[in-house]
């Protein structure tokens, strides 16, 4: 390079005097600032998450770490519900790739509150990044994309579900899945399609199949829209749209096979085998509760720091506060109206309006006929409950509509009359809403009996007052952005005020000052902990399922997984049905004998009875066959049933037992861990070996190295037929569904990485750019 050329380059690189720095390109960094303001308390350790995080995520993490330390894969936990599958539970997150990072980091600390809470909330930042990139992909200005990302990151449904870790994991991957699928549609890129499938696959590992089902239908609707919009394109292109969508679904479900095949097996054995319409409709949103779109705290508020003092009357069950609230901010609602004016010019608006409308109607549940039709006739939806959760998709679609609306305002891309007509429309809507709120503040619309309580009335009036304030500020900011210069500055002001609205509503919900370690430390006092160190097989029943004190509980539900204490109770939606029947329908004295209960809660007191548990294993030739489950329960409750003698199985035994000599046996434990039990058994006659271990199809038994039959015995336990003589009996967890799932997942992963690595091109006629719904920025 000559001196002259070098001088020209240096000169070109220098900014001209007075040239403005492009601050807009640094706008995405403000996502991190907003994130730190909202969730920084979890990153600093000054607050911790609660509800499912402390009662499921933390115990799951601790049990996984215990298993790794012991050199075991966590197939089975013996510490909750007397024993149940662990990894097969989708909420264990064993195969969720980012979770492996958490496991590695967890080995370097003894305090996991900060680490786990941070891991969960960082997914919200990833969600925001994905939404920003998706918005830019669809041609949004930087400020509009920032608004959309901020509004969705901190929208009411997300901030209220920060305690539901698996949902946060799932939703965080949706934007990038959508982004790469649409890139594949627009460019024909097979690589983009593979990446979309890979991201969808990652989202399926997080353990929230309901959200994955919703993803699938939303992406299907988008695929249909793209196909219709490009109906005049060649047939091969239209087929490829559907093919790409199908490939994304196949990759996602195929990758998740290692998780979902065992999970399906577990669900079939659980109390969640089937849902009737009535049970599935719990959480249907009443029409009156749509008021929370304007005044989210009108019916009260629930938070981790004030559950006992909370005032909430929107539903009888407080948990429906977070399942049915979809506050997106008043500014967001008003901006969404602007997008409606672009319906003819932007087909994406039609898509968003249709999905939002359907989601809103479905969230009303049994209050409209649509939920009945979808639950009974649309594939997939019959297995899930709480229709109020559809309100989440209403909120997400409204936020994207608002992003389109703000983008139109900032670009000033419509005729002069549109802005004026739009503002008149939202002014009229806002005026009507504000008038209703003012009338309420003046004493009208107070028919509910709840308003006789001063605290309830005060809460509702404060919520109404803040809504009026938000309406006024939102209208002012939108007016400035519409009719004044420097739209970008007012656009950013809209972003900031939207954040303030959402922060004011949701920031206090997720935090509590009780760390996970403290929660489980206070749950088990020192004297009790010393007692529970007692050696020998036994279980602890800290919850009463029948009789006096029914429902009382002394220890946290999943404490067993934290402190490795074998509890008869736990906290899991996939409670095994056989075990549930035992706890709820079999005489308490019989069930505690079969379960080897040594410590049982005293009704009305924070103390335990100390009992003498029976042996964990025994032999008996007294085998009775009862094929009907109801009849089995009836016999166990009858005086004829003698624990430690009678064994009830549900099918004809493989051998005839010796009632004279079959009870005489010697049992020695050779090996005993969560996944494998090995016994040396000597019997004097043909008999059955009974084990006080929970029956589950994933367990297999081998007698003298040969596979034998494992029977369900006494409703929920295991029994093995043994012939006269000395035997080595091995029970081990050996899931065929896990092996099949692992083979499917690994094979598919190998194929995906080969295709990504080699960049295999499509035929040339499919490579030309396709017409998209929104032109990308150049």
Q: What is the 3-state secondary structure (H, E, C) of 391-446?
A: HHHHHHHHHHHHHHHHHHHHHCCCCHHHHHHHHHHHHHHHHHHHHHHHHHHCCCCC
Instruction: Pick the closest to residue 122 from 168, 158, 156, 157 (CA basis).
Output: 168
Q: What is the tens place of the pLDDT at every residue in 701-726?
A: 999 999 999 999 999 999 999 999 99
CB atoms within 10 A of CB 612: 9
pLDDT band at 270 (very low <50, low <70, confident <90, very high): very high
Q: Give the angle 539-545-546 at the CA atoms, nearest 5°.
A: 120
Question: Residue 3 has what pLDDT?
Answer: 52
Using a 10 angstrom Cβ sphere, with 0-12 exposed, 13-18 middle and 19 or more buried, the burial of residue 213 is middle
- Kindly tell me if the per-residue pLDDT of 9 is higher than 50: no
Instruction: Pick the closest to residue 698 from 75, 35, 247, 50 (CA basis).
Output: 75
- Kindly tell me if the per-residue pLDDT of 5 is higher than 50: no
Question: Residue 110 has what pLDDT?
Answer: 81
- Kindly tell me if the per-residue pLDDT of 778 is higher than 50: no
Question: Residue 535 has what pLDDT?
Answer: 66
pLDDT band at 11 (very low <50, low <70, confident <90, very high): very low
Residue 116 contacts residue 516 (beta carbons within 8 Å):
yes
- Kindly tell me if the per-residue pLDDT of 576 is higher than 70: yes
- Kindly tell me if the per-residue pLDDT of 542 is higher than 70: yes
Question: Residue 378 has what pLDDT?
Answer: 94
- Kindly tell me if the per-residue pLDDT of 343 is higher than 60: yes
Residue 711 contacts residue 674 (beta carbons within 8 Å):
no
Least-confidence region, from 296-300, 550-554, 649-653, 687-691 = 550-554
Instruction: Pick the closest to residue 152 from 500, 409, 395 (CA basis).
Output: 395
Question: Residue 772 has what pLDDT?
Answer: 38
Better pLDDT: 131 or 234: 131
- Kindly tell me if the per-residue pLDDT of 54 is higher than 80: yes
Q: What is the share, in percent, of the chain residues with pLDDT greater than 70?
A: 91
pLDDT band at 236 (very low <50, low <70, confident <90, very high): confident
Residue 48 contacts residue 515 (beta carbons within 8 Å):
yes
Residue 687 contacts residue 619 (beta carbons within 8 Å):
yes
* Helices vs strands, H then E, count in the chain: 30, 18
Better pLDDT: 85 or 450: 85
Instruction: Pick the closest to residue 460 from 437, 431, 433 (CA basis).
Output: 437
Grouping H, G, I as helix, E, B as strand and the rest as coil, residue 733 is strand
Distances (CA, A) of 710 to 81, 616, 622, 699: 20, 16, 17, 8
- Kindly tell me if the per-residue pLDDT of 243 is higher than 50: yes
Question: Residue 607 has what pLDDT?
Answer: 79
- Kindly tell me if the per-residue pLDDT of 208 is higher than 60: yes
Grouping H, G, I as helix, E, B as strand and the rest as coil, residue 714 is coil
- Kindly tell me if the per-residue pLDDT of 16 is higher than 50: no
Place of tokens 């970008």: 488
DSSP string, 36-100: HHHHHHHHHTS-B--THIIIIIHHHHHHHHHHHHTT---SEESSSTTSEESTTSGGG-TT-HHHH
Q: How far apart are CA 153 and CA 67, in angstroms?
A: 35
Question: Residue 446 has what pLDDT?
Answer: 81
Question: Residue 19 has what pLDDT?
Answer: 45
Least-confidence region, from 177-191, 507-521, 569-583, 727-741 = 507-521
pLDDT band at 762 (very low <50, low <70, confident <90, very high): low
Query: What value does the mean pLDDT of the chain take?
Result: 89
In the predicted model, what is the mean pLDDT of residues 82-111? 92
Pair of tokens at residue 461: 């009036």
In the predicted model, what is the mean pLDDT of residues 129-147? 95
Question: Residue 18 has what pLDDT?
Answer: 41
- Kindly tell me if the per-residue pLDDT of 466 is higher than 50: yes
In the predicted model, what is the mean pLDDT of residues 276-285? 88
- Kindly tell me if the per-residue pLDDT of 519 is higher than 90: no
Q: What is the tens place of the pLDDT at every residue in 355-382?
A: 999 999 999 999 999 999 999 999 999 8
pLDDT band at 770 (very low <50, low <70, confident <90, very high): very low
- Kindly tell me if the per-residue pLDDT of 307 is higher than 80: no
In the predicted model, what is the mean pLDDT of residues 544-572? 88
Question: Residue 717 has what pLDDT?
Answer: 97
pLDDT band at 761 (very low <50, low <70, confident <90, very high): low
Question: Residue 776 has what pLDDT?
Answer: 38
3-state helix, strand, coil in the chain (%, to 5): 55, 10, 35
Residue 586 contacts residue 715 (beta carbons within 8 Å):
yes
Question: Residue 374 has what pLDDT?
Answer: 94
In the predicted model, what is the mean pLDDT of residues 656-683? 93
CB atoms within 10 A of CB 503: 15
pLDDT band at 329 (very low <50, low <70, confident <90, very high): very high
CB atoms within 10 A of CB 225: 17
Pair of tokens at residue 56: 């499921």
Instruction: Pick the closest to residue 673 from 73, 89, 217 (CA basis).
Output: 73
Backbone φ and ψ for 713, nearest 5 degrees, come out as -125, 145
pTM: 0.90
- Kindly tell me if the per-residue pLDDT of 309 is higher than 70: no
Question: Residue 414 has what pLDDT?
Answer: 56
Residue 726 contacts residue 298 (beta carbons within 8 Å):
no
Question: Residue 413 has what pLDDT?
Answer: 58
Instruction: Pick the closest to residue 698 from 80, 261, 383 (CA basis).
Output: 261
Better pLDDT: 102 or 756: 102
Least-confidence region, from 131-135, 546-550, 656-660 = 546-550
**Strand arrangement of the beta sheet that strand 539-541 belongs to:** 539-541, 597-601, 608-610
Question: Residue 525 has what pLDDT?
Answer: 62
């Amino acid at each position: 390079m000559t001196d002259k050329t070098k001088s020209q380059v240096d000169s070109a690189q220098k900014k001209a005097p007075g040239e403005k720095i492009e601050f807009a390109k640094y706008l995405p960094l403000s996502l991190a600032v907003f994130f730190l303001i909202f969730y920084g308390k979890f990153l600093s350790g000054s607050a911790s998450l609660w509800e499912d995080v402390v009662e499921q995520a933390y115990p799951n993490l601790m049990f996984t770490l215990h298993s790794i330390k012991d050199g075991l894969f966590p197939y089975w936990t013996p510490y909750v519900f007397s024993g149940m599958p662990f990894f097969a539970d989708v909420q264990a997150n064993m195969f969720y790739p980012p979770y492996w990072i958490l496991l590695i980091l967890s080995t370097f600390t003894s305090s996991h509150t900060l680490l786990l809470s941070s891991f969960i909330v960082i997914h919200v930042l990833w969600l925001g990044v994905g939404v920003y990139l998706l918005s830019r992909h669809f041609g949004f200005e930087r400020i509009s994309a920032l608004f959309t990302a901020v509004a969705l990151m901190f929208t009411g449904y997300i901030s209220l579900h920060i305690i539901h870790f698996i949902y946060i994991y799932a939703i965080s991957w949706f934007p990038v899945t959508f982004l790469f699928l649409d890139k594949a549609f627009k460019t024909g890129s097979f690589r983009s399609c593979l990446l979309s499938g890979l991201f969808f696959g990652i989202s399926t590992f997080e353990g929230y199949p309901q959200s994955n089902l919703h993803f699938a239908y939303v992406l299907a609707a988008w695929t249909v829209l793209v196909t219709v919009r490009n109906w005049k394109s060649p047939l091969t292109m239209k087929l490829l749209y559907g093919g790409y969508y199908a490939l994304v679904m196949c990759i996602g479900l195929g990758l998740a096979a290692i998780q979902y095949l065992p999970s399906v097996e577990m669900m079939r054995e659980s109390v969640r085998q089937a849902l009737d319409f009535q049970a599935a409709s719990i959480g249907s949103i009443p029409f009156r509760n749509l008021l929370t779109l304007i005044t989210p705290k009108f019916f009260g508020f629930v938070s981790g720091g004030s559950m006992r003092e909370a005032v909430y009357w929107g539903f009888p069950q407080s948990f429906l506060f977070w399942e049915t609230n979809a506050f997106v901010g008043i500014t967001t609602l008003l901006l969404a109206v602007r997008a409606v004016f672009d319906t003819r010019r932007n087909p994406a608006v039609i898509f968003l309006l249709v999905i939002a409308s359907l989601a809103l109607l479905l969230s009303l549940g049994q209050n409209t006929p649509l939920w009945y039709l979808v639950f009974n006739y649309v594939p997939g939806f019959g297995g899930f409950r709480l229709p109020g959760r559809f309100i989440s998709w209403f909120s997400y679609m409204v936020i994207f509509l608002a992003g389109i609306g703000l983008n139109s305002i900032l670009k000033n891309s419509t005729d002069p009359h549109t802005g004026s007509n739009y503002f008149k429309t939202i002014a009229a809507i806002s005026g009507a809403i504000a008038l209703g709120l003012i009338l309420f503040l003046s004493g009208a619309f107070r028919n509910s009996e709840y308003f006789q309580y001063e605290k309830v009335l005060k809460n509702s009036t404060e919520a109404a007052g803040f809504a009026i304030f938000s309406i006024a500020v939102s209208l002012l900011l939108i007016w400035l952005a519409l009719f004044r210069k420097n739209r970008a500055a007012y656009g950013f002001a809209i972003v900031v005020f939207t954040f303030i609205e959402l922060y004011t509503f949701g920031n206090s919900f997720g935090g509590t000052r009780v760390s996970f370690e403290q929660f489980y430390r206070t749950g088990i006092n020192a004297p009790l902990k010393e007692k529970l160190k007692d050696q020998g097989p036994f279980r602890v029943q800290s919850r009463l399922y029948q009789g006096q004190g029914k429902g009382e509980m002394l220890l946290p539900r999943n404490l067993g997984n934290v402190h490795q204490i074998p509890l008869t109770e736990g906290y899991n939606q996939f409670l095994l049905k056989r075990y549930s029947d035992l706890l709820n329908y079999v005489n308490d004295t019989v069930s505690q004998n079969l379960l080897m209960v040594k410590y049982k809660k005293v009704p009305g007191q924070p103390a335990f009875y100390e009992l003498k548990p029976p042996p964990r294993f025994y032999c008996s030739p007294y085998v009775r066959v009862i094929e009907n489950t109801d009849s089995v329960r009836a016999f166990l409750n009858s005086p004829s049933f003698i624990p430690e003698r009678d064994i009830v199985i549900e099918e004809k035994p493989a051998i005839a037992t010796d009632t004279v000599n079959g009870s005489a046996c010697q049992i020695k434990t050779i090996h005993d861990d969560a996944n494998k039990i090995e016994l040396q058994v000597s019997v004097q006659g043909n008999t059955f070996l009974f084990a006080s271990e929970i029956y589950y199809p994933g367990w297999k038994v081998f007698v003298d190295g040969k596979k034998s039959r494992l029977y369900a015995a006494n409703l929920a336990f295991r029994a093995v037929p043994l012939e006269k003589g000395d035997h080595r009996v091995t029970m081990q967890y050996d899931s065929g569904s896990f092996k099949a799932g692992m083979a499917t997942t690994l094979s598919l992963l190998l194929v995906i990485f080969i295709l990504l690595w080699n960049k295999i091109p499509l035929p040339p006629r499919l490579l030309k750019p396709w017409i998209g719904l929104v032109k990308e920025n150049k």
